[in-house]
Structure 1
């Protein structure tokens, strides 16, 4: 055991250089916090760690920047990561151009800034809002600001510790702001700024700040935030592994606990779905979710640690359904965002329910899921809207039609860039319909169960046994001519797929892996296809391949760890009768593509989705099929993992003799009894107990092959 707390291992800069696309930011916030504070760095520099100047510090709708008045209009500053501290609960940095030191911490709807100005300087503080924002000084120590974005109001209240001499200027041009003069002084001077944010009113922003910070000083507020993070991260305790592995693990867990965002304020919230204020009742209201990404392992991870909060999130989805008439895909502050494809709320809700968390209205949830399944177009990247002619073909023939070779798009509703993604649409909705069917069965809706189970098998309609891949069909039911499973479909494969190619999506049948194996003619052929996935090359140069598939980073052959549809694939060897290959692959992936530095996340983080894969895999198991209350066993990184659950019970995974070399399971016991399954039930974890995995350097090819 070491004396470092879990939060001490977190590096918020992990992933802050993107391998190809987006990077992360060093967010200071509480878990699920509404107040998130980040440095604003060079415009256009998307890899945040590589930015060399700070333009301010954003909290809510406002940006603060301390500076020294010296006649130069530039208030930005150079900074050095070696003179910076970034944690989940606290951030500090030296602004090198002025020698100003700034630090801040954050609570649920508030933040606390501390600025140290050097001696013998003319100290200023610039407070800015977006264009059309209004900010005013209500008295010598208080500022309030308001702006409107997409129909949602943003309010900020600031209380300063120093009596300001004057408001030097009130800028009316864009961006709105106040440049506040503190005055010249001979000694170093400390300015503290306590901030509250709200979507309800400026008065509520003040109440939020006073309620959370009150009379606390900066250090006391910082300690409170640290304690909350330590409690959250400490729900999973790990022993063993390297310092780097523990840092990677807890940094990933930090990212996994940021979404969804709790926007409840004193029992009320403002909804971007109907632009109205609502009472929350006895549950908080959450928004900001990327369901296409988060249903796979982020929500299952949060469910494992805090099942009650997942019920509140589902209830929030149901409120959005009432307010808008549709179950959202990517809910945010301003309503739904028409991103990606699928009806993945079905997976989120089915997984939560079948793992025993039922503190939400299941009938209402089913009504909402079924409504989307039956009435919303399947077209990707569109608002929930009525069915199109393509949906009617799907209902009739059991597959979403692709354009025939050389055919020009004629359906007006198809997104110009995102295209039809016809194969992905079919596969993802087949899985979602399986999830709908499981909920129908739980509610004794037998006709619905039969109907949706039939639709769940639609994936079979797109398996082309001639080539051994999922493939597109045109509306007439013919295979699309000239189809290339590796490079077909244009940019991102979007004619047929969502950001990946057929090598990935052919395995996108989480709900019926036995059926998929049957399409390949048995487990041996299925295993060979998996083997080929990890060695197949690019049909050209790698840079050309990544130019076509920029989301497909973290490549091992055609397997792309950097995009979510690939997450479950390494665990499919468990179903082919070779679980030792799963153990080998997940260890290889974690070693290659995850670390505790700026390049430590191999693809788009997508609100914790990528990080949650690592948390599960490092613990030694993974939810291949959300909606089924089981997990597939991999190969844990740590000698011991203790999962402390909301019910007070602890589940322990102990890997005896585990190491970088000893990655293969030789034998296992569950609660003292021999265990020879490559999976474990959710109830075994929820009830507490101990899984012992005896590790060795070479595979035991007989372990875990029983059904």
Structure 2
């Protein structure tokens, strides 16, 4: 984009955002911008498993940090972080400012701390026992610390690497740390004042040296007691130390922490302002914008001055003008995270899909990635849902990537790679069985696993894999149709019905079968399957996977016995008891938290379930349930996220549902309408157009749609086409306190 035009566009967005917020009339308090509503601490205490992390970073950027501690409730910080190389990872390097006796020096200093203040773009903390004030500002691949020492004593800066090498060149500290899979992260760190001396710290003892290598490599910069303040600029790289230095010089040299924070704040506001909201409570706006902020944590752009290091082939590449993205857990993100980006950042989604094509070309096998990370594809979870991101994006106008190559890579990932979960091995005996019989066979309790492609630390998850692969094959059939590959389209379309092979008509559940086609009996849909129900399902039990037919919901309704029976069974999902004490239930199913009956708000395979009432003639129940779930499980507090948030995988559900619609079936260019929470939502699209949702009288009580119009014309169905949004326009819904049971059933 022409720089002047781009600048004018950003200014226009800022003005529109300001005007939009101003119209709320906030009782003389300072008008808040979107980033002011972000609470990075939301969900930092988990209900059971992994919490959210208060991440300081710029949108989709390579450099991410957060305070390192055991968990939010910990009273100690483990040094100061310099770079987190993966979502949920620990810092690759640690910086420890210290004043005290030399025999107290450690590679990583544990600090008592207070007065911590954190935003998406800034960090500040007081290390109270050490009496050191720390302030931090971040850019894309570089950052800066300002450190103020209060004690009248010599000062030290300790830089440590868990497994790598460090060097002082007379001006700066540089080095690397091994991560995994032949991947290193490099650092170049420059203090604004030169130290009086440099030492290595080994086995608790200081020795004069400017280099150290190996486990817990540690160098110490020693300063006289007159040193009261230090500013430290640093850059990181996955290419080499020279590139880390170049990143630092390009982004942060000559800038103060305050200047970096100001720039970061502006960048975040520009991104978050792509969706403006009016109405709702302060807490509701906080939940919304915090959820949106989470959607920018992954994937990350690792292009550095036109180059990037790829762990997929362990080489440095030119990016040819297209940024390269990785660290995307697609099993979690295909459902809502990718579709949200298609709406608000289409060009970035094109670059991400283009990155997936490159990864496929770079790997030993031309297979679409499933869990691409900084260190390569970890092939986690079940199925290969990356194929859904391809057809969903393409059908919504994301075109600037090679669809033919994407199709061949996706096809290879489903037909040549094993379907066994958590495995990157080629297809084998299990896959041949699936191709012949249309389902993955299950083992009986106690029966030994003999299939070599099944990961030794996992189970074959036969129902989850069969259902997930049926959807993946539907996605393949749709891409084949777009490419005019009629034979492939017909083949995979037929295979997309394989979920029927595990449907138990007596119980109306998807039920595991043995290799002879017999249902495993006796069977409990809540608890059979061992830890996480993985012997048969995956992280969730049979009540969740009962609804895992995203691509053919009308057929699922028919197999359930029609709309009335379908609704009855949906209702049961929300009312069925845990069946055990909470202790007993979560001891076996720790991923299935956030329960309303057997429905779990805490795991991605459940996200579409509340919207299924729309397909069976009772959209008012979708409206009721969605409001209940958002209000109860997503809150502006430390436990305000019900389960593993997965860097945007779950938060995107909140963003969509609060706006009032949701992509139930990625691959179909449309959305299922729920219950808009805010009186007004304005989507600013990349094509320069806007789409507005006005929910008249929307409130906690007024959760039900009474009537609706789209661009002035009556809307009588609970569906919204993607093209209607892309074209720009306005959806107006009249909200009320009691259900209009006739709306949306025509």
Verify the 8 A CA contact 1:405 1:482 in the aligned structure 2: no
Which residue of structure 1 aligns with residue 594 of structure 2? 554
Correspondence 1:471 to 2:511? yes
- How does 1:214-229 map onto structure 2 within 5 Å? 214-229=253-268
Instruction: Give, in whole Å, the separation in 2 of the partners of 1:55 and 1:69.
Output: 17
Correspondence 1:375 to 2:416? yes
Verify the 8 A CA contact 1:37 1:57 in the aligned structure 2: no
Correspondence 1:34 to 2:57? no
Correspondence 1:412 to 2:449? no
Which residue of structure 1 aligns with residue 694 of structure 2? 654
Which residue of structure 2 aligns with residue 289 of structure 1? 328
Instruction: Give, in whole Å, the separation in 2 of the partners of 1:194 and 1:246.
Output: 35
Which residue of structure 2 aligns with residue 257 of structure 1? 296
Verify the 8 A CA contact 1:249 1:615 in the aligned structure 2: yes
2:177 to 126, 131, 147: 147
Which residue of structure 2 aligns with residue 313 of structure 1? 352
Stretch of structure 1 that moved more, 158-167 or 695-704 = 158-167
2:222 to 162, 167, 181: 181
Instruction: Give, in whole Å, the separation in 2 of the partners of 1:116 and 1:406.
Output: 62
Verify the 8 A CA contact 2:557 2:566 in the aligned structure 1: yes
Verify the 8 A CA contact 2:99 2:151 in the aligned structure 1: no
Shift of 1:220: 1.5
1:353 to 374, 390, 394: 394
Verify the 8 A CA contact 2:610 2:626 in the aligned structure 1: yes
Instruction: Give, in whole Å, the separation in 1 of the partners of 2:259 and 2:179.
Output: 34
Correspondence 1:430 to 2:470? yes
What is the Cα-based RMSD across aligned positions, in Å?
1.3
Which residue of structure 1 aligns with residue 195 of structure 2? 164
Correspondence 1:8 to 2:36? yes
Correspondence 1:576 to 2:616? yes
SS of 2:551's equivalent in the other structure is: helix
Verify the 8 A CA contact 1:33 1:108 in the aligned structure 2: yes
Instruction: Give, in whole Å, the separation in 1 of the partners of 2:325 and 2:252.
Output: 22
Please list the CA deviations of residues 535-589 of structure 1 after superposition, one character each: whole Å capped at 9, or x if unmatched.
0012222221111110001000000010110000000000010000000000000
Which residue of structure 2 aligns with residue 76 of structure 1? 110
1:94 to 104, 109, 126: 126
1:328 to 369, 383, 387: 369
Instruction: Give, in whole Å, the separation in 2 of the partners of 1:372 and 1:338.
Output: 10
Instruction: Give, in whole Å, the separation in 1 of the partners of 2:446 and 2:268.
Output: 55
Please list the CA deviations of residues 155-198 of structure 1 after superposition, one character each: whole Å capped at 9, or x if unmatched.
1001111221111435457411112222112xx82211001001
SS of 1:364's equivalent in the other structure is: helix
Instruction: Give, in whole Å, the separation in 2 of the partners of 1:375 and 1:410.
Output: 20
Instruction: Give, in whole Å, the separation in 1 of the partners of 2:685 and 2:233.
Output: 34
Verify the 8 A CA contact 2:125 2:133 in the aligned structure 1: yes
Which residue of structure 2 aligns with residue 128 of structure 1? 160
Shift of 1:407: 2.9
Instruction: Give, in whole Å, the separation in 1 of the partners of 2:665 and 2:476.
Output: 14
Instruction: Give, in whole Å, the separation in 2 of the partners of 1:417 and 1:64.
Output: 36
1:564 to 598, 604, 618: 604
Please list the CA deviations of residues 354-373 of structure 1 after superposition, one character each: whole Å capped at 9, or x if unmatched.
11111111111111111112
Instruction: Give, in whole Å, the separation in 2 of the partners of 1:429 and 1:168.
Output: 57
2:280 to 232, 241, 247: 241
Verify the 8 A CA contact 2:368 2:406 in the aligned structure 1: no
Which residue of structure 2 aligns with residue 489 of structure 1? 529
SS of 1:492's equivalent in the other structure is: helix
1:212 to 244, 251, 254: 251
Instruction: Give, in whole Å, the separation in 2 of the partners of 1:540 and 1:299.
Output: 36
Taking structure 2 as the reference length, what is the TM-score of the superposition?
0.91
SS of 1:381's equivalent in the other structure is: coil
Label 1:516 to 1:40 Cα distance change in 2 as closer, same or farther (>3 A): same
Instruction: Give, in whole Å, the separation in 2 of the partners of 1:485 and 1:250.
Output: 37
SS of 2:46's equivalent in the other structure is: coil
1:597 to 629, 637, 662: 637
SS of 1:129's equivalent in the other structure is: strand
Which residue of structure 2 aligns with residue 528 of structure 1? 568
Verify the 8 A CA contact 2:661 2:674 in the aligned structure 1: yes
SS of 1:371's equivalent in the other structure is: helix
Structure 1: unaligned runs, 5 residues or longer: none
Stretch of structure 1 that moved more, 498-507 or 68-77 = 68-77
1:107 to 139, 146, 149: 139
Instruction: Give, in whole Å, the separation in 1 of the partners of 2:455 and 2:240.
Output: 38
Instruction: Give, in whole Å, the separation in 1 of the partners of 2:223 and 2:290.
Output: 38
Please list the CA deviations of residues 178-234 of structure 1 after superposition, one character each: whole Å capped at 9, or x if unmatched.
12222112xx82211001001111111111111112422222121111111111111
Instruction: Give, in whole Å, the separation in 2 of the partners of 1:401 and 1:112.
Output: 55
Shift of 1:69: 1.6
Please list the CA deviations of residues 225-274 of structure 1 after superposition, one character each: whole Å capped at 9, or x if unmatched.
11111111111111111111111111111111111110001111111011
Taking structure 1 as the reference length, what is the TM-score of the superposition?
0.96
Stretch of structure 1 that moved more, 440-449 or 60-69 = 60-69
Verify the 8 A CA contact 1:405 1:481 in the aligned structure 2: no
Structure 2: unaligned runs, 5 residues or longer: 1-23, 84-91, 203-211
Verify the 8 A CA contact 1:667 1:693 in the aligned structure 2: yes
SS of 1:184's equivalent in the other structure is: coil
Verify the 8 A CA contact 2:442 2:512 in the aligned structure 1: yes
Correspondence 1:366 to 2:407? yes
Instruction: Give, in whole Å, the separation in 1 of the partners of 2:113 and 2:201.
Output: 28
Which residue of structure 1 aligns with residue 13 of structure 2? none
Instruction: Give, in whole Å, the separation in 2 of the partners of 1:40 and 1:124.
Output: 20
SS of 2:575's equivalent in the other structure is: coil
Verify the 8 A CA contact 2:137 2:258 in the aligned structure 1: no
Stretch of structure 1 that moved more, 570-579 or 210-219 = 210-219
- How does 1:36-55 map onto structure 2 within 5 Å? 36-41=64-69, 45=70, 48-55=71-78
SS of 2:464's equivalent in the other structure is: helix
Verify the 8 A CA contact 1:571 1:582 in the aligned structure 2: yes
2:730 to 690, 700, 704: 690
